[in-house]
Amino acid sequence: MALAGLGLLLFLLPLAGLVVRAPWGQVGQELLAPQTATALGLSIFCSVTATAIALVLGIPLALVLSRTTGTLRSVLRALTTLPMVLPPVVGGVALLLAFGRRGLIGAPLYQLFGVQIPFTTTAAVIAETFVAMPFLVIAIEGGLRSLDQRYEEAARALGANSWKVFARVTLPLLRPAIFSGAVLCWARALGEFGATITFAGNLPGRTQTVPLAVYIALESKPEAAIVLSLVLLAVSLAILIGLRDRWLGEP
Amino acid sequence: MTVFAAASLQPAFDKIAAQIHVDATFNYAGTQTLTAQLTQGAEADVFASADKTQMKTLLDAGLIAGAPEVFAHNRLEIAVAKGNPKGIHSLADLARPGLVVVLADPSVPAGKYAQQALAKANVTVHPASLEPQVTGVLSKVALGEADAGIVYVSDVVTSQKVQGVPIPDSQNVVADYPIAALKNAQHNSNAAAFIAFVLAPDGQSILKAAGFEPA
């Protein structure tokens, strides 16, 4: 019990610190400050776009993962979950080496078309997708594996083609898993810092999302940093409470 | 002993640490980060800052023991890729359209100095990124992602991957690096010995080799 309490304290104390030190009288003013509003807007745009891309790419990936077995599955699964355990800064460096001006894909893109990805909003979206998509894939794969396949079989027996089975039977059954996966993915994208600052840099209005703004402001305007941190905290808490055990607890 | 030192000092201080045989731990970061950590109660014995303003913040907070001493100076330089493929010869060239220029964020000394230098040269630059540490500027140029960045002369001297384009004195900014022991230091004698070494000829020649100008 004592250890459990200590564990809980470790989580609660930093949060309490934020709440106690928050300049409550200035919250409205700090939130409306142009730099804060810009960072918030950019953060919402980037995290929503990253989640949309993760849905488009992640659902098929989860389908493939759930239908493979053995070594192939272990390898695919390890590759998919790698960004979850990789330090995000390392992820950022890896993204530079792939999409940077001298990167694997970035170099031909730059030489042939003059396209430069680093330091753009696109880079911020790519960084967030890279780091956050695994959360979506894992949630949906879990949903697929616990799916009762008899519904799909029945639909097939009734003459539905594979696309129709997927769209009319599988997807609706998967709705809770897709929803919780998308929300977790979005929350992770919203909080992304390391890969973004390494790969996309830090420029207000273009790549400076809320976590980056917090980091920069901490050194010059601590009040603004605390207010922005509170916003992120409130959003994350609301998401976790909203999801509750029934979705997070699913295998 | 714990030394909090500006990120730009790392190459020089690592060499000094190897010579003085004192068990020292170094925390290198943007001076602004270090100041924030110290004012929030981080324990350290020595603070070496990349500008006087940050040192004054700690002095005013009553955290510094004795009077800080300036132990080195640094100047700014434009960092470009080896061979200077984009033909950058002055601050004015940084305003050229299509050039990817990276600066340090104005909240850190290197970024503040860069802004002062650009103002003196009457040049407006649209940076691709404002890095939270001067080392971030250097690495973006070294990786080839940025065409140019404004860094310290010492950064160019110790980096193998970039080339420096000098900025004339009339446009340049001289950064003063003050050092001091902290009031809550746990290892007073080691702190004093470290500061003395940095100020002595041996320490000064290491700093000079790392691209700093002696005090």
In this predicted structure, which of A90-94, A229-233, B3-7, B200-204 has the lowest mean pLDDT? A229-233
For residue A246, what pLDDT band results from cuts at 50, 70 and 90? Answer: low
Write down the pLDDT at residue A245.
Answer: 58
Q: What is the share, in percent, of chain A residues with pLDDT greater than 90?
A: 59
CB contact under 8 A, B143 and A222: no
CB contact under 8 A, B145 and A202: no
Q: Which residues of A touch B131 (CB under 8 A)?
A: 201-202
What are A169-228's pLDDT values in tens digits? 988 999 989 999 999 999 999 999 999 999 999 999 999 999 999 998 887 788 888 888
Residue with tokens 């929350």: A187
Q: Is the pLDDT of residue B188 over 90?
A: no
B147 in contact with chain A, both atoms CB, cutoff 8 A: no
Q: Which residues of A touch B33 (CB under 8 A)?
A: 219
pLDDT mean over A7-11 = 91
Residue with tokens 């973006």: B140
Best residue of A202, A219, A221, A223 to probe chain B, by most B CBs closer than 10 Å: A219
3-state SS string for chain A? CHHHHHHHHHHHHHHHHHHHHCCHHHHHHHHHCHHHHHHHHHHHHHHHHHHHHHHHHHHHHHHHHHHCCHHHHHHHHHHHHHHHHCCHHHHHHHHHHHHCCCCCCHHHHHHHHCCCCCCCHHHHHHHHHHHHHHHHHHHHHHHHHCCCCHHHHHHHHCCCCHHHHHHHHHHHHHHHHHHHHHHHHHHHHHCCCHHHHHHCCCCCCCCCCHHHHHHHHHHHCHHHHHHHHHHHHHHHHHHHHHHHHHHHCCC
Q: Is the pLDDT of residue A14 over 70?
A: yes
Nearest to A80 by CA among A135, A134, A140, A136: A134
Q: Is the pLDDT of residue A59 over 90?
A: yes
Q: Which domains does chain B have, with CATH numbers?
A: 2-73+176-214 (3.40.190.10), 76-166 (3.40.190.10)
B196 in contact with chain A, both atoms CB, cutoff 8 A: no
Nearest to A54 by CA among A203, A192, A230, A241: A192
Write down the pLDDT at residue A251.
Answer: 42
Q: Is the pLDDT of residue B127 over 90?
A: yes
pLDDT mean over A142-152 = 88
d(CA B40, CA A204): 27
Q: Which residues of A touch B104 (CB under 8 A)?
A: none
What are A85-96's pLDDT values in tens digits? 999 999 999 999
* Out of A96, A116, A202, closest to residue B129 by CB: A202
For residue A247, what pLDDT band results from cuts at 50, 70 and 90? Answer: low
Write down the pLDDT at residue A79.
Answer: 93
Write down the pLDDT at residue A162.
Answer: 86
**Chain A CA closest to residue B30:** A219
d(CA B215, CA B206): 12
Q: Which domains does chain A have, with CATH numbers?
A: 36-248 (1.10.3720.10)
Interface ipTM > 0.90: no
pLDDT mean over B90-100 = 95
* Out of B30, B130, B145, closest to residue A96 by CB: B145
For residue A160, what pLDDT band results from cuts at 50, 70 and 90? Answer: confident
B30 in contact with chain A, both atoms CB, cutoff 8 A: yes
B 113-132 → A contacts, CB under 8 A: 127-132
- Identify the helix (H) or strand (E) that includes residue B188: helix B188-199
Q: Is the pLDDT of residue B189 over 80?
A: yes
What are B46-73's pLDDT values in tens digits? 999 998 999 999 999 999 998 999 999 9
Q: What is the share, in percent, of chain A residues with pLDDT greater than 70?
A: 97
d(CA A244, CA A201): 35
A interface residues, B as partner, C-beta within 8 Å: 96, 100-102, 116, 118-119, 197, 200-204, 207, 215-216, 218-220, 222
Write down the pLDDT at residue A250.
Answer: 47
* Out of B100, B128, B132, closest to residue A215 by CB: B132
